[in-house]
Structure 1
Amino acid sequence: METHQKTPMAVMMTHGLVRFVCLIILLLLPPKIDGGTLTEYNSVHTAVLSGYNKDARPVTDQNNAMNVTLAFHLLTIANVDEVTSEVVSVGSFSIDWRDEVIQWNPFSYGGTFSINIDESLVWKPPMTFLNPMSTNVGLLGFKQSKIKYYADGNAYWNIADRYQTTCDFDTRYFPFDKQTCSMKIMVWDYNKNEVLMYPSQSVVDLTHYSENGAWVLASTETKFELLGENSVVVFNLNLERRPLFFVVNLFIPVFVMLMLNTLVFILPADSGERVGYSITCLLALAVFLSLVSDGLPQVSKPMPVIGYILATYLMISGLICVETIFILRVHHKEEEEEISPFFMRCYNLFSCGSCKKSSGSVDNLTTEKDLEMTKVAFEIPEISPITWKKISSRLDKICFMTSLASVIIVGAIFFVIVNVKSLS
C-alpha cells in the first residue's frame, strides 16, 4: 500500500529531474544565432517583407497608437561654443517599438529568432531635432543602418552620429557658470494618437562617456513633453564649466597688471618715469584684454559680470594715469605759489602728524622751578610749513591706498557674487 502511494510522487520527481537536466544541457550547448543555415535566414527575410508596406504603420488596428521608446547613449561632448550657441555631442539613439506585421514562427525556419533588415525597406518612426544647429531640418537615421527584428515583432534600431544642436547659454556668471543644454526630438508626420514616443530611461546613458576638458557633465535627465499634437522627448545635459583655465590665464594676469600699476605712486616724483610707467601699464592691460576678448562670451543679454569687472579694472588703470599726472603737477608747483585751502584741508585730514594738545595738571606745583619745567614739557614743538612737495607726497600715499583697495575690493565682489550664485 505504501509503495502504491509513493509511485505518483516518484514519477513527478523523475519528470522534474528530466526537465532540469534538459534545461542544463540547453544552457551548456552553444546557441544558434539567427537560424541554422543561410537559406532559412533568407527565407524569413523574404517571407516577412513579402507584401510589406513601409508607408503604413505596422499595427493591425490603425485606431491604436504605436508606442515607441527612445534612449540616448552619450559618448562625449565634442564642442561647446557660446559665441554661436552650438553644442556638438557624439552618441547613439536606441529606438524600440513593436511591429505587428513582421512576425514569424522561429521553429518553422530552423530556430531563426532575429533578422536584420535595412531601414529603407521597412517602416520606422520618423524623428527630427527641434533645436538643430543647421537650418536644414532633417530626419534622424537614413544612413543605411540596420533594424533588428525579433520573431515576436519587437524592433530595435540603433543610430549613431555627431549631433549639432543649439543651446540657450546664460553666461552672466562666466567662467563659473552652469548651463542646461537640451536635445529635443519630436515624431514627424504623426500625432500623439498615431505614434507616441517616450523615454525608456530617466537619465542619459553614460556607460561609455568620455569627459570633456572644458566642461563637467554634472547630471542628466530625460522627460516627455507634448508640443501641440506631437510627442517630444527631451534629453537635458547639465553642464558646469571648468574655470581653472580662465583663472590662470585671465584673472591672474589682469590682477598682476593692476597691482603693478598701483606701484607708480611709490616711484619718486623726480625720477621722470612715473607718467611713462603708468601709461605703459594701461596700454599693456588694454592690449591683453583685446587679445583675450575672443575667448569671452560675446553676448549682451544677459551681460556677463566679468565684462563689468574688466571694464572697471580698465577704468581704474586709466584713473591711475590721471592721478599720476595730477600729482606730478602739484609736485612741480613753485613753492612761492599760495596753497589753496582745499589742499590744506586734505593735507590736515589725511596727515598722521597732526598736532594734538596734551592736557595736564599743575595744581600741586609749588616751586617756580617745577612750573618752568612743566611749561617746557608742555611746549608745542614748532610745526614745519606745508609745501607743495609735502602735499604731493601725501596724495601719493592716499592714491596708492585707494587704488590698491579698489583693485582688491572689485575682485572680491566678483568672486563673492559668483560663489553665492553657484551655491544657490
Structure 2
Amino acid sequence: MYNPDDQTVKWEPRILLRGSCTPDVTYYPFDRQVCDFTYTAWGYMSEEIRLQIMTTEWDMSDYEKNGVWKVISTNSEIYQYGGSDYVKFEITIQRQPLYFTFNIGLPILLLLNGFVFLLPAESGERIGFCITCFLSFVVLMQTTMQFLPQIASPMSLLCVYVFLMMCFSVFINIVTVLMLRIYHKPEKEKVPKWMQRFTQIIRCQICRCKDRDKPQNEVDWPSVARLLDTFSS
C-alpha cells in the first residue's frame, strides 16, 4: 500500500512459517514446555529493514484448542544483534496429564510385586506372580516410550522409575526362587553355619549370646525359609 504523503510503501506479506523446539520431558506427563522462535531479515541491516511488532501478545483468534496441550502464555519481542533486527516469539504450553495419569501412571503404581511374599509358599503361585509383574513393567515401559520423543537428554523421571521398578521386580524374582529352594530342601539336610548365623542376626538373637563358644541351636531349612519370608514381607 503506497502512502503519497510520506512517500512510503506498506507491505504486509502472508507467509507460513514452521518451527520446532527441543522438549524437556523430565517431569512427563506433568511437563511444561517453553519454545521460542527467532526470525530476521537475512542479509539486511537495521537501517535497511526495520522489524516491528504491533503487540507482545499473540493473536490467538484462529487457534484451535488441543486435547493434549494447553497454551499458558505467549510473548513477542524485538532486539538487535550485529546491526540487524531480530524478532523473537515465545510460547509456553503445558501438557494436560489426566489421560496419561490414568493410562500410564496409575497402572505403574498399582503393580506392587512386593506383595508376592504374602502368598503361601505351598500355593506354588509365587513364581508366576513375579513373572507376570515383570512382564507388565516391560510392557508399560514400551508404552511409555511410544508417547515420549526419542531423546537421551533429558531423560524422563517416569522412564527412570519404571526401569528401577523393573530391576526391583527382577530382584524379587531372584529372592523368591532362592527362598522356595530353601523352603523345599530336605529337613534332614544340615543348614550351613553362615546361614544359621544370618538367621540368628535376623532374629536379633546374636545380641543375647554372651558366650560365643556356646553351641547354638540347630536350625532346619523350613524354619529358615519361613523366617526369610517374614523378613522380606
TM-score, scaled to structure 1: 0.48
Asked if the contact 2:188–2:220 (Cα under 8 Å) also holds between the matched residues in 1, the reply is no
Task: Report the Cα offset of residue 165 of structure 1.
Answer: 0.7
Q: What are the equivalent positions in structure 2 for 1:135-284 lying under 5 Å apart?
A: 155=10, 157=12, 159=14, 161=16, 163-207=17-61, 209-257=63-111, 259=112, 261-284=113-136
Alignment-mate amino acid for residue 256 of structure 1: L
The CA distance in 2 between the partners of 1:169 and 1:296, in whole Å, is 10
Alignment of 1:59-208 (within 5 A): 101-103=2-4, 155=10, 157=12, 159=14, 161=16, 163-207=17-61
Helix, strand or coil at the partner of 2:50: strand
- Give 1:311 shift: 0.9
1:323–1:399 CA contact under 8 A, matched in 2: no
Contact 2:76-2:90 within 8 A present in 1 as well: yes
In 1, the alpha carbon distance for the partners of 2:123 and 2:47 equals 85
The residue number in structure 1 matching 2:191 is 339
Q: Name which structure has the greater RCO, CA cutoff 8 Å, separation 6+.
A: 2
Contact 1:297 1:304 in 2 (8 A): no
Per-residue CA shift, 1:303-324, capped at 9, x if unaligned? Answer: 2222221110110111111111
Indicate conservation of the 8 Å contact 2:141/2:163, yes or no.
Answer: no
For the pair shown, the structure with the greater C-alpha radius of gyration is 1
Amino acid at match of 2:108: V
Instruction: State the SS of the aligned residue for 1:301.
Output: coil
Counterpart position of 1:110: none
1:303 aligned counterpart, secondary structure: coil
Offset at 1:220?
1.5
Structure with greater strand percent: 1
Q: Secondary structure at the match of 1:279?
A: helix
Q: 1:256 to 1:353 in 2, by over 3 A?
A: farther
1:181 aligns to what SS in structure 2? strand
Coordinate RMSD, CA, aligned: 3.1
Instruction: Check conservation: 2:190, 2:220, Cα contact below 8 A.
Output: no
Q: Deviation of residue 166 (structure 1)?
A: 1.2
Deviation at 1:225, TM superposition (A): 2.4
Q: Give the structure 2 partner of residue 58 of structure 1.
A: none
Alignment of 1:280-291 (within 5 A): 280-291=132-143
Deviations 1:265-294 (A, max 9, x none): 122212222222211221232133223321
> C-alpha offsets along residues 348-376 of structure 1, whole Å, 9 cap, x if unaligned?
333389998xxxxxxxxxxxxxxxxxxxx
| Alignment-derived partner of residue 309 in structure 1 | 161
From 390, 399, 405, give the equivalent of 2:232: 399
Deviation at 1:184, TM superposition (A): 2.1
TM-score by length of 2: 0.82
- Contact 2:144–2:159, Cα closer than 8 Å, also in 1: no
2-side partners of 1:160 and 1:394: how far apart?
74
Equivalent residue runs for 1:363-374 within 5 Å? none
Count matched residues: 227
Q: Structure 2, unaligned stretches of length 5 or more?
A: 209-216
How far, CA to CA, are the matches of 1:251 and 1:222 in structure 2? Answer: 36
Paired with 1:208 and 1:215, the residues of 2 have a C-alpha distance of: 16
- CA distance in 1 between counterparts of 2:164 and 2:82 reads 48
In the TM superposition, what are the counterparts of 1:341-356 in structure 2 within 5 Å?
A: 341-351=193-203
Aligned-pair CA distance for 1:213: 1.6
Alpha-carbon distance, 1:300 to partner: 0.6
